[in-house]
């Protein structure tokens, strides 16, 4: 059996080629990848030429076009390499436009992928899918959005990680320094539940007006927020603020740190019924997610603050991030009165891009 491979490193001769497997069993492919330091440790789908071509048929452009250069190894992510890793992950061809756009987003300087991969913090890129492609490609935006059971979410998130392993070189130890890692380093992909959102699509709030889009936010695992009783916005968001206002997360001493506030539909409906906008939510959390400035100073000798933050008296409350715009709000998930907070690693900014095609 012939399979395609490639790492996007070095000269063109080092880019995708064919390998012959003496056996066509899943075990043989897994052993081959393990022997070369490839893969994520889970079983893989053989990237045969026919399968790779089927992926490429769902995206326009030259298969060898460089979509981005991904650190720390600075591998060149091409459409073909995206297709190979999509096959390995078990993706359907319908998700290829999402993955092509994700590869472009990972290379954006604002995302700081080199820092994301080099830090000892357990940060992983969270891919959020928006718009028409959610239904078209079968992404789950409802119950269990972060969990198992949906092929598109699971395999697209996995394909992003395989790109980081194979192209960016982000293997634990030499390319990914995360001390403990986190489960989301296997797969971290959800969809915005626009049908249940009382506000405009999240990409429009970021200036991206397209039928489909993706956002990549590099952050921790989701932190649950539980409120089963409140009928007004304040108590729900006060609980969100307590999750944000902790010193154990990397964001605490970093003014540019982002917080993705992923509201469940029921919490979002309660908040919107009181006439609150997305910006109102962000501003409220900016004002309520605070700790006395002196506590910050005692906890952190090294701080990446805005100049005005250094002048705040010790007894005055200081926000967990330097600007309300760093608090990003969208709706995802299904029935139930839970929401999630996803703090960023800090020295990274999320990226939202329109999906091609």
The tens digit of pLDDT for each residue in 68-98 reads 999 999 999 999 999 999 999 999 999 999 9
- pLDDT score, position 28: 87
Tens-digit pLDDT string for the chain (357 aa): 778 877 776 433 345 678 877 777 888 889 989 999 999 999 999 999 999 999 999 999 999 999 999 999 999 999 999 999 999 999 999 999 999 999 999 999 999 999 999 999 999 999 999 999 999 999 999 999 999 999 999 999 999 999 999 999 999 998 999 999 999 999 999 999 999 999 999 999 999 999 999 999 999 999 999 999 999 999 999 999 999 999 999 999 999 999 999 999 999 999 999 999 999 999 999 999 999 999 999 999 999 999 999 999 999 999 999 999 999 999 999 999 999 999 999 999 999 999 987
Give per-residue burial for 228-262: e unless 16+ CB within 10 Å, then b: eebeebeebbbbbbebbbeeebbbbbbbbbbbbbb
Residue 327: which H helix or E strand, with range? strand 327-331
User: Where along the chain do its domains lie?
Assistant: 2-191, 223-343
Cα–Cα distance list, 151 to 95, 125, 142, 213, 227 (Å): 10, 18, 14, 19, 30
Cα–Cα distance list, 288 to 137, 237, 279, 323 (Å): 39, 9, 14, 13
- pLDDT score, position 13: 34
- pLDDT score, position 12: 38
Nearby residues of 44 by Cβ (< 8 Å), 6 or more positions away: 26, 29, 30, 33, 88, 89
Cα–Cα distance list, 6 to 37, 41, 340, 342 (Å): 13, 18, 37, 33
- pLDDT score, position 26: 84
Rounded CA-CA distance 101/154 in Å is 17
- pLDDT score, position 16: 63
Determine the 3-state secondary structure of 323 from DSSP. Answer: coil
């Amino acid at each position: 059996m012939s399979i395609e491979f490639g790492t996007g490193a070095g000269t063109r001769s080092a880019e995708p080629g064919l390998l012959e497997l003496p056996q066509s069993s899943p075990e043989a492919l897994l052993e081959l990848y393990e022997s070369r330091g490839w893969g994520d440790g889970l079983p893989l789908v053989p990237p045969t030429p026919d399968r790779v071509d089927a992926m490429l048929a769902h995206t326009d452009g030259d298969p060898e076009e460089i979509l981005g250069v991904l650190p720390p190894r600075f591998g060149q992510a091409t459409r073909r390499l995206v297709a190979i890793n999509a096959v390995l992950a078990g993706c359907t061809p319908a998700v290829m436009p999402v993955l092509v756009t994700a590869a472009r987003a990972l290379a954006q300087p604002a995302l700081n992928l080199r820092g994301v991969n080099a830090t000892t913090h357990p940060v992983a890129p969270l891919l959020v899918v928006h718009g028409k492609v959610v239904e078209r490609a079968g992404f789950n935006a409802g119950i269990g959005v972060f969990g198992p059971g949906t092929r598109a979410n699971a395999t697209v998130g996995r394909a992003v990680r395989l790109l980081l392993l194979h192209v960016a070189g982000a293997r634990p130890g030499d390319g990914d320094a995360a001390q403990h890692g986190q489960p989301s380093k296997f797969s971290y992909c959800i969809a915005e539940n626009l049908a249940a959102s009382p506000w405009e699509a999240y990409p429009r709030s970021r200036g991206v007006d397209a039928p489909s889009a993706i956002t990549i936010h590099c952050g921790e695992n989701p932190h649950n927020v539980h409120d089963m009783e409140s009928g007004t916005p304040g108590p729900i968001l006060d609980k969100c603020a307590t999750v944000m206002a902790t010193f154990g997360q990397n964001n605490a001493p970093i003014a540019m740190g982002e917080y993705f506030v992923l509201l469940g539909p029921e919490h979002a409906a309660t908040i919107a019924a009181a006439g609150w906008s997305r910006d109102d939510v962000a501003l409220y959390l900016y004002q309520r997610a605070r700790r006395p400035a002196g506590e910050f100073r005692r906890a952190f000798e090294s701080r990446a603050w805005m100049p005005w933050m250094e002048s705040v008296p010790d007894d005055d409350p200081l926000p967990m991030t330097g600007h309300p715009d760093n608090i990003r709000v969208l709706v995802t998930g299904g029935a139930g009165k839970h929401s999630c907070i996803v703090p960023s690693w800090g020295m990274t900014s999320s990226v939202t891009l329109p999906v091609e095609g």
